[in-house]
């Protein structure tokens, strides 16, 4: 028989890992729904041109990381490297901008694909959660979105989140700033890394994102975007920072922050996590404002803002931060029986409890009480319910609390009320 290997850069999630990825989605969806966001689901693959046009030719995603192929119809297709472009395409395709109140407020959650070097918490197939607010008219739209992302990370358990923020101005400001950067980097570019040389030709703003230590020394002396901002752009940005200060959101102004996608304008931001020993473990989420993306994919000019989080990376960090609270598989009750007649009663009893919202299990194997109890314990079960001949005859079942080891008899008609009262979490509410 052949042996099939897990593909490099992919990840099998099961048991507590899978439970926690589910829980992350649940908390994030609940948090953004407080702000009036609704779900949107788009295809995993799109025309390659959608990403090259919207993400930008100078981005690393387009240049290095896309999974692209030609389908049987001769069309150029790519697995989505991020979800924003697909959401914008869906908004234009379905004319949501014309049939819904603005701003449109959507959240998404699903797999994305990038052919990059695998590392802890980062995979070639990963789950991205994010939001898009389309048709914004105020810097408070940006501020609210930034605060929502920050709050979401606190809600899922990150104790120390630092917000890094910058403004890129409008298109005219960025054009002027790009020209200044080209003039500054021209004498240095020959000694810089290959990525910087490519970015010098396509989008010199992206040079500011270089991580090479030697290049960072050159970048540190580059002109600042703040020198090229208009008074209106500075006022726009101040509304955002004032809102952050009113709600005690700690932030750092990082003038080299440009983000890896070409469509951003005005405010851009990253959420960073700092460990107990003060080490910055890098960005755990990011986003920004963009003006032209909807029109780039065939719609009207609508300003937008959004952010995205990679769930596998969040999950990897939370394992270390919240070890004791890390979600474990569990059951409310386990049905233990002996004999064919009791098996039928146990089956029916388990189904009744499940219909009432309790997590139940039982074995359809000929195992003794002790062996079944061991399985119940391994499955993190709260209560064992014994279904013996006497219990069946009297319609009263012995229930054992597997934590306290206390046991008592409960009538069939009282089982739901008993479990409801004794379980801390009422799953069936």
C-alpha span between 202 and 89 (Å, rounded)? 25
Same domain, 137 and 275: yes
Residue 109 has pLDDT above 50, yes or no: yes
**How buried is residue 186: exposed, middle or buried, by Cβ count under 10 Å (0-12/13-18/19+)?**
exposed
Same domain, 315 and 335: no
Percentage of the chain modeled with pLDDT above 70: 94
- Max mean pLDDT range (180-189, 236-245, 272-281): 236-245
| CATH code assigned at 338 | 3.40.50.800
Residue 89 contacts residue 14 (beta carbons within 8 Å): no
Same domain, 103 and 58: yes
| CATH code assigned at 282 | 3.30.930.10
Of the three residues 293, 321, 349, the one that is the final residue of a domain is 321
Structure tokens at 263: 């469509």
Same domain, 272 and 380: no
Same domain, 285 and 385: no
- What does the DSSP assignment read for 349-388? HHHHHHHTT--EE---S---HHHHHHHHHHTTEEEEEEE-
Phi-psi region of 137 (alpha: psi -120 to 50; beta: other; left: phi over 0): alpha
pLDDT tens, residue by residue, 13-35: 999 899 999 999 999 999 999 99
Same domain, 254 and 307: yes
Average of pLDDT values for 389-414? 95
Which residue segment(s) compose the domain that 97 sits in?
15-170+230-321
Same domain, 307 and 349: no
Same domain, 311 and 363: no
Of the three residues 251, 286, 321, the one that is the final residue of a domain is 321
The reply to whether 263 falls in a domain is yes
C-alpha span between 188 and 355 (Å, rounded)? 70
What pLDDT does 59 receive?
59
Same domain, 44 and 85: yes
Residue 399 contacts residue 385 (beta carbons within 8 Å): yes
Average of pLDDT values for 336-343? 93
Same domain, 124 and 40: yes
Per-residue pLDDT band for 255 (boundaries 50, 70, 90) equals confident
Per-chain mean pLDDT for the chain: 90
What pLDDT does 261 receive?
60
pLDDT tens, residue by residue, 36-81: 999 999 999 999 999 888 665 555 566 568 999 999 999 999 999 9
pLDDT tens, residue by residue, 189-239: 999 998 899 888 888 888 887 888 888 989 888 888 888 899 999 999 999
Closest CA to 308 of 164, 148, 136: 148
Please count the structural domains in the chain: 2
C-alpha span between 21 and 27 (Å, rounded)? 10
What pLDDT does 419 receive?
96
Residue 364 contacts residue 336 (beta carbons within 8 Å): no
pTM recorded for the entire structure: 0.85
Same domain, 85 and 150: yes
- What does the DSSP assignment read for 281-320? EEEEEEEEEESSHHHHTTS----EEEEEEEHHHHHHHHHH
Closest CA to 418 of 402, 397, 404: 397
């Amino acid at each position: 028989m052949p042996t099939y290997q897990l593909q490099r850069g992919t990840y099998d999630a099961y048991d507590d890992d899978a439970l926690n990825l589910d829980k992350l989605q649940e908390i994030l969806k609940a948090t953004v729904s407080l702000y009036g966001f609704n779900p949107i689901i788009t295809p995993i693959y799109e025309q390659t041109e959608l990403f090259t046009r919207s993400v930008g030719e100078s981005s690393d995603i387009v240049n290095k990381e896309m999974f692209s192929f030609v389908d049987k119809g001769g069309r150029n297709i790519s697995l989505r490297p991020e979800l924003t472009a697909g959401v914008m395409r869906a908004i234009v395709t379905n004319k949501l901008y014309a049939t819904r109140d603005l701003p449109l407020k959507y959240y998404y959650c699903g797999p994305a694909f990038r052919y990059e070097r695998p590392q802890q918490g980062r995979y070639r197939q990963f789950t991205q959660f994010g939001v898009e607010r389309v048709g914004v008219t105020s810097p408070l739209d940006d501020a609210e979105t930034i605060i929502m992302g920050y709050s979401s990370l606190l809600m899922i358990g990150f104790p120390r989140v630092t917000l890094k923020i910058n403004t890129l101005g409008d298109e005219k400001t960025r054009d002027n700033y790009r020209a200044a950067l080209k003039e500054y980097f021209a004498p240095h570019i020959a000694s810089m890394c290959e990525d910087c040389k490519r970015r010098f030709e396509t989008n010199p703003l992206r040079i500011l994102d270089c991580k090479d230590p030697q290049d960072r020394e050159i970048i540190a002396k580059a002109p600042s975007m703040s020198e090229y901002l208009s008074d209106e752009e500075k006022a726009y940005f101040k509304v955002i920072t004032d809102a952050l200060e009113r709600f005690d959101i700690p932030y750092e102004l990082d003038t080299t922050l440009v983000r890896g996608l070409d469509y951003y304008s005005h405010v851009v931001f990253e959420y960073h996590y700092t460990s107990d020993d003060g080490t910055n473990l890098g960005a755990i989420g990011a986003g920004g404002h963009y003006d032209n993306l909807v029109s780039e994919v065939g719609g009207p000019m609508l300003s937008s803002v959004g952010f995205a989080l990679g769930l596998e990376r969040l999950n990897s960090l939370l394992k270390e931060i919240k070890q004791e609270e890390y979600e474990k598989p569990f059951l409310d009750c386990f049905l233990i029986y002996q004999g064919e007649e009791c098996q039928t009663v146990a089956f029916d009893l388990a189904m009744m409890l499940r219909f009432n919202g309790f997590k139940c299990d039982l074995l359809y194997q000929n195992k003794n009480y002790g062996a079944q109890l061991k399985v119940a314990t391994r499955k993190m079960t709260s209560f064992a319910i014994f279904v013996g001949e006497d219990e069946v005859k009297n319609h009263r079942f012995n229930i054992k609390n597997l934590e306290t080891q206390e046991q008592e008899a409960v009538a069939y008609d009282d089982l739901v009320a008993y479990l409801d009262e004794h379980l801390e979490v009422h799953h069936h509410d």
